[in-house]
């Protein structure tokens, strides 16, 4: 027997798969790419042949023929924040079900780097781009529009800006938090904000606290604001800074749960009781928030929903549909044990 005939091709082609499966090359292609068009029996035969031969589809060649890469690009500020993992996971799952792959890169809160990475993603074949926030280099929007690449901003809801967006109003969210603290009787409220440079979410969250003060005819004292990087250690440092600037505030609004974690930890180290001596509120409702001691009051963000809806928006655009350009998701205040009336009982809500 000629053993050479039994040896699988070194670089098997689709035609080799078709021959082994006993069908035409066109049928083998449909079994792999549009299985709904062929019988289950043919699908099994083709997949068995693929496994036996070790066949790998030439996606690059297919993309050149069809002018579709089935790739979506995502530019996130950093991989250090768990909240962006929710967005990424939801996007990837939704896109995978539709036969698309996700390419991810980070900007490190640098608008020029974001522009460069988005351009690179498009050059590598990305058919759509997901961005975070609404603050981007004007050249980025111009580039995507010139290339006719659909895009969507996430984690921000700014329909008046005129760019597709799926998210929530960060400014209104922290205004809600601050108004809740006012309703408990707090009047001396401080903020540990994230870095506001090139970060519209952090800037909007700080502005929301300022809005709540102005609605009461007051101004937020700049000495009551500590701007810190997003880390537990920075949250601890932020609380120390606030306490070093005079009388202790009765409540602190934090721009993220990570900063709030640090603030709670520093209170414990200083024997400052939470919430009897000071109430603390976070933002994001990350997994650990409910398990702190005491559990963290925070603003719950629907990161998974944002990712799923962003994927759905881009897929619809790529199908030639015209989905709504603006979608607002709920950001909900979750009251737990780190807030209460000043000097009073923990967990009291309005």
Q: How many CB atoms lie within 10 A of CB 129?
A: 25
Phi, psi angle pair for 133, to nearest 5°: 85, 180
pLDDT by residue, tens only, the chain of 350 residues: 444 445 555 678 889 999 999 999 999 988 887 777 889 899 999 989 988 888 876 554 554 444 568 999 999 998 888 789 999 999 999 999 999 999 999 999 999 999 999 999 999 899 999 999 999 999 999 999 999 999 999 999 999 999 999 999 999 999 999 999 999 999 999 999 999 999 999 999 999 999 999 999 999 999 999 999 999 999 999 999 999 998 999 999 999 999 999 999 999 999 999 999 999 999 999 999 999 999 999 999 999 999 999 999 999 999 999 999 999 999 999 999 999 999 765 444 43
Question: Are 57 and 32 within 8 A, CB to CB?
Answer: yes
- Residues forming a β-bridge with 73: 103, 129
CA separation for the pair 336, 339 (Å, rounded): 7
Domains of the chain: 3-57 (1.10.260), 68-168+303-329 (3.40.50.2300), 170-300 (3.40.50.2300)
Q: How many residues does the chain have?
A: 350
Picking from 343, 225, 232, the residue whose alpha carbon sits closest to that of residue 278 is: 343
Is residue 304 within 8 Å of 89, Cβ to Cβ? Answer: yes
pTM: 0.79
> Rounded to whole angstroms, how far apart are CA atoms 153 and 138?
14
What span, in angstroms and rounded, lies between the C-alpha atoms of 84 and 230?
13
* Cα–Cα dist 348/184, whole Å: 8
Q: Which helix (H) or strand (E) holds 298?
A: strand 298-301
Q: What pairs with residue 252 in β-bridges?
A: 190, 280
Q: β-strands 298-301, 331-334: how paired? A: antiparallel
CA distances (Å), 95 to each of 35, 88, 102, 323, in order? 18, 10, 7, 17
Residues 294 and 339: their CA atoms lie apart, in Å, by 9
CB 296 within 8 A of CB 312: no
CA distance 310 to 317: 11
Contact 311, 90 (CB under 8 A): yes
- Give residue 307's Cα distance to chain centre: 7
């Amino acid at each position: 027997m000629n053993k050479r005939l039994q040896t699988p091709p070194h670089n098997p082609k689709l035609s080799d798969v078709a021959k082994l499966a006993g069908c035409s090359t066109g049928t083998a292609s449909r079994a792999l790419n549009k299985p709904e068009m062929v019988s289950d029996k043919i699908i099994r035969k083709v997949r068995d042949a693929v496994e036996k031969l070790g066949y790998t589809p030439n996606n690059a060649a297919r993309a050149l023929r069809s002018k579709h890469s089935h790739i979506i690009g995502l530019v996130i500020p950093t991989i250090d924040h768990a909240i962006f993992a929710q967005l990424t996971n939801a996007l990837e799952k939704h896109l995978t079900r539709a036969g698309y792959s996700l390419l991810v890169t980070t900007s490190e809160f640098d608008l020029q780097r974001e522009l460069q990475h988005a351009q690179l993603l498009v050059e590598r074949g990305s058919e759509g781009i997901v961005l975070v926030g609404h603050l981007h280099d004007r050249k980025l929007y111009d580039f995507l529009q010139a290339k006719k690449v659909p895009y969507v901003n996430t984690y921000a809801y700014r329909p008046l800006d005129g760019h597709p967006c799926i998210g929530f109003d960060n400014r209104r969210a922290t205004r809600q938090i601050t108004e809740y603290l006012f309703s408990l009787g707090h009047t001396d409220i401080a903020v540990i904000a994230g870095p506001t440079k090139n970060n519209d979410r952090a800037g909007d969250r700080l502005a929301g606290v300022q809005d709540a003060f102005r609605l009461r005819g007051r101004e937020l004292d700049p000495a009551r604001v500590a701007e810190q990087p997003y880390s537990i250690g920075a949250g601890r440092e932020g609380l120390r800074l606030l306490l070093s600037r005079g009388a202790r505030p009765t409540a602190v609004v934090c721009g993220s749960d990570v900063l709030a974690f640090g603030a709670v930890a520093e209170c414990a180290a200083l024997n400052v009781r939470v919430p009897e001596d000071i109430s603390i509120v976070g933002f994001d409702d990350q997994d650990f928030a409910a398990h702190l001691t005491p559990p963290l009051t925070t603003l719950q963000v629907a990161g998974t929903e944002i990712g799923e809806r962003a994927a759905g928006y881009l897929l619809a655009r790529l199908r030639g549909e015209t989905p709504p350009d603006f979608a607002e998701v709920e950001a909900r205040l979750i009251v737990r044990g780190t807030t209460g009336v000043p000097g009073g009982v923990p967990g009291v809500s309005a």
